Amino acid sequence: MKRYFLSLIGLLFLANQVFAANADYKLVLISMTNNAVRVRLPLTDVTGKVRVKEKSSDGFGLPVAPMKTSLNKKFYLEWQIGYDIPNTNSPSVVPEIKFIRNSETKYGHELSKIIFEALRSEIISTNDLIREIDSLKKILPSEFEENQSVQVEVSTNSAADGFQSAIQRLPQFTKTTPHGWVQIQLKQKQRAVGYQAMVYVCLPMNEVLAMDGSQRKTGPAKSKETVYYDFTRANSDLLLAIIHAFGIASQQHNEDIQKILGKILETTR
């Protein structure tokens, strides 16, 4: 019995180790390297915040199985980026960036850390953030994507077996830069009625790096493979576009981003 109990403990320990390894692989990690803010992203976590897609003419992209697809310049990473978190448990949090939303304390996360590090390393300037805050203050409520109408087109002709077809059209905003693009998409709320604006960063596979900093080679993804993207002065326009995307996505995002940028300016002065 004692031997069985010890074996069970050993199996539970190994299971916890495997779970921890899987959880770590899925984390978005942000670090500084060679005057760049480097972001580590999971390549094969198809149910998470980062997915591989093939470019399409409608701009929405087609999801693919990364381990079964030879990934080349026709493909890109779609990253549902965030900017805050309710605790300080993540390695991508900035504890100094702290603000209140709906009586709940929030801490800067992911995008906030990228901006924080980019400012400290002079990839972007304080003037860039001041200009962005001023610009966000001038956005009218009618310009927020969350306030754009969802259109439904119903066919006048009946489909097969008495069914009637309908097409739902959701607005999507896209800002393209030479090194990637950012999209704002309306998605149905999971725990409420209505739609919410979601921001996605789209990174072309030919801009994605391997662990050693070289361009990732064309080919299928390996199990639990991670890739990297560097924010530098050369592609700082993409970072500023991401900031502005949140500013025009919704009123709440606009207010949050203004608070975050203000806190970053206070902290780095």
Q: What is the pLDDT along the chain (269 residues), one digit of tens a residue?
A: 555 544 545 444 444 444 344 568 889 999 998 889 999 999 998 888 999 999 998 888 999 999 999 999 999 999 999 999 999 999 999 999 999 998 999 999 999 999 999 999 999 999 999 999 999 999 999 899 888 888 777 776 666 677 878 887 888 899 999 999 999 998 887 776 778 899 999 999 999 999 888 999 999 999 999 999 999 999 999 999 999 999 999 999 999 999 999 999 998 77
The residues spanned by each domain of the chain are 27-147+164-268
Among 51, 13, 45, residue whose Cα is nearest residue 27:
45
Token pair in block for residue 55: 């470019």
Q: Are 198 and 187 in contact (CB under 8 A)?
A: yes
- Token readout for 48 is 């998470």
Whether residue 57 contacts residue 28, with contact meaning beta carbons closer than 8 Å, is answered with no
One-letter identity of residue 197: A
Give the predicted TM-score (pTM) of the model.
Answer: 0.87
At residue 121, the pLDDT reads: 94
Q: Residue 187 has what pLDDT?
A: 84
Angle between helices 251-268 and 126-137 (to 10 degrees): 150
Model pLDDT, residue 21: 45
CB atoms within 10 A of CB 234: 12
